[in-house]
Chains A and B, each alone.
Chain A
Amino acid sequence: MEKTKNPIVKVAIHLFLIIFTIYSILPFYWTTMQSFKTLKDANSRTPKFIFTPTWENYQELWLNSVPENGYMIMFFILLAVVLLICMALFAEQFPWPNWVTAAFVLLGFAGLLWGIPEVVDTAEFYDYFVNTIIVTVGTVVVSISIGCLAGYSLARYSGYAAVVILIAALGFRALPRLTFILPYYQIGSALNLLDTRFLVILTLVAVNQPFTIWMLRSFFMDIPKELEESAMVDGANRLTAFRKVIIPIMWPGIISTALFSLLLAYNEFLLVRILTQTNWTLPVAISRYTGGEDPRHLTLAAAAAVSATIPIVIVILFFQKNLVKGLAAGAVKG
């Protein structure tokens, strides 16, 4: 719509938007403040707006209160980042193909993730963090691979069965999680899989799959059929056409979808809470800090909340365009 010229209306709009901004970020502001306070400051009945910030809570959360370990981890992470930048700069000049470099970098990160607790003494929270990464990455990889194949075939094959499958998927998307989780609990206990990351990933994939398929399908529908047909005329079979022609132009769509299933897996609480007793992911670990009315948990919970938020904010900062695009286009259909 055209913009208003009236200055009073303009000021009123900005005023309202600022109030809404405060409403949106007030909890974040307050929790971040709390996480840098000492217990005494945090529990003060009159809020302290001016205080000396302390890293104590984060050190207790991640490092069992041994601050020296923090410097070592910083050093490791710095080393990894420098290596990554070098790899990215010189990737073209290596004598081996790019995917070898990528695999090498991934292996390095995995090594770093598992290596840190071997070298320095980390707290339980670190294990939950590693768990979360494994579960999230596993879910995204599996559900995107299945989703790409299913979404592509559903976008191209328009028979009666395809419609039925799509509608069933939509229906399943709406079902309450517990309807799936309790039977999966039963299956898990029968197969002795309870409390494993494998079961969590399997269930998460099952729960998120309808959404992934719908979203990827709507992205595939935007790609004209002629594209792979011309490739097939040139002698490629369907699989090669899919791999060499369709997937490269699908990357933005795949990233959008991956982002949403990443958020779903990272955020999942109920499912992980039921299917695991020790192999928790971050949301469940954090809810533990709110379990008691113990005021000692106040700052620790705040630090945990902030720690769990930072990775997701970093990811979103990189991919905000994809997120908004996904919300506007594909996600709304699921």
Chain B
Amino acid sequence: MTALMVIPLIMAIWLGMNFITFRNINEPEFIGFQNYIDVLTDGRFWSAARFTTIYTAIVVPARMVLGLAVALMLDQVSKAVRGVYLSFFLLPFIIVPVVGTLMFKQLFDASGLITWAYRMIFESRLPYNELTVKTLIMIHGVWYVTPFALVTYFAGLQTLPSDLLEAASIDGANWWQKIWGIVLPHLRSLTILILLISIMDSYRIFDSIFVLTNNLNPVFKADTLMTYNFSTAIQFQRLGKGNAMAVLTVIGIMIVLIPNLIQSYREQIEER
């Protein structure tokens, strides 16, 4: 099991030091750290890194707040209605991401529903430029992962200690005080968990942007690290540089991840 994962990682670092295209794929040419330097001095790499960061910084909080808000409201309605709502809400999450994106995109096609609605309301065409395309990508990002935060929060709300809430009611606490004082602390560990998973997932966002921008990324400058990595390795056939970029991305994500890994390591040690 470990071999299946460790060997590719070591190979990626090694391949990153070679000049490889599809033509000389079986006889790589060793060029040392040239690929790594290429990546680090590549303007498009940094602009992709910037967009990935912006995407993560906007989408992750948005989907968590929205998920929590909806979960709190869902908690207020009766059990029977709840199930119906929940199965609708889950739909964007269980669907194949590529298909979900495709469906989302059809709303914004020339003959799509939103394009039409926009024309009706603002009496002008929906403009497609860097800003709107990026906004679109982010709306889609919120759309398809919110259900995950929602369901997890909802499950967390079901385990709220009711005696604490009752005590708070007797003491005359209002709604906000209960949320701040009891509900949010109770959901704290879940929040950290959702946060970490969301960061990891939005960091490697690929499918949706690939489908939404349709290979027009140089035009919209909406590359993320993954899409740029993909086009370097597969479309421009610079496999070595692609590998180098993947390795550098790993280093980037590890900076975010290492505190979490250390913490779960401690937890596991304690559990023994």
Contacts and interface: CB of A to CB of B under 8 A. Distances in A.
Nearest to A267: B96
A327 B93 CA distance: 12
A20 B113 CA distance: 17
B151 A328 contact: yes
Contact of A1 (B15, B85, B90, B165): B165
Contact of A2 (B165, B207, B269): B165
Contacts of A190: 26
A266 B94 CA distance: 10
Given A1-B157, A163-B269, A283 B73 contact: no
A83 interface: no
B75 A1 contact: yes
A47 B113 contact: yes
Contact of B9 (A179, A209, A290, A328): A179
A182 B264 contact: no
B36 interface: no
A3 interface: yes
A267 B211 contact: no
Chain B interface residue number, banded: 35 or more
Contacts of B165: 1-2
Interface string B3-22: 01101110110010000000
Contacts, number: 253
A327 B149 CA distance: 10
Nearest to B166: A2
B167 interface: no
B1 interface: yes
Interface stretch (B42-50, B54-62, B103-111, B130-138): B103-111
A321 to B, nearest CB: 11
**By DSSP majority rule, is chain B's interface helix, strand, loop, or mixed?**
helix
Interface string A163-185: 10111111111111111101111
Select the residue from A26, A210, A213, A327 with max chain B CB neighbours within 10 A. Answer: A327
A198 B272 CA distance: 38
Given A179-B247, A309-B95, A26 B113 contact: yes
B233 to A, nearest CB: 6
Interface stretch (A9-17, A87-95, A105-113): A9-17
B264 A167 contact: yes
B121 interface: no
11 contacts: A4-B76, A10-B76, A20-B89, A27-B100, A43-B110, A146-B1, A176-B225, A176-B246, A182-B12, A267-B97, A283-B97
Interface of B: 1-2, 4-5, 7-9, 11-12, 15, 25-26, 70, 72-77, 85-92, 94-100, 102-107, 109-113, 116, 143, 147-148, 151-152, 155-157, 160, 165, 169, 178, 183, 190, 193-194, 197, 200, 203-204, 206-207, 210-211, 214-215, 225-226, 229-230, 233-234, 239, 242-243, 245-247, 249-250, 253-254, 257, 261, 264-265, 268-269, 271-272
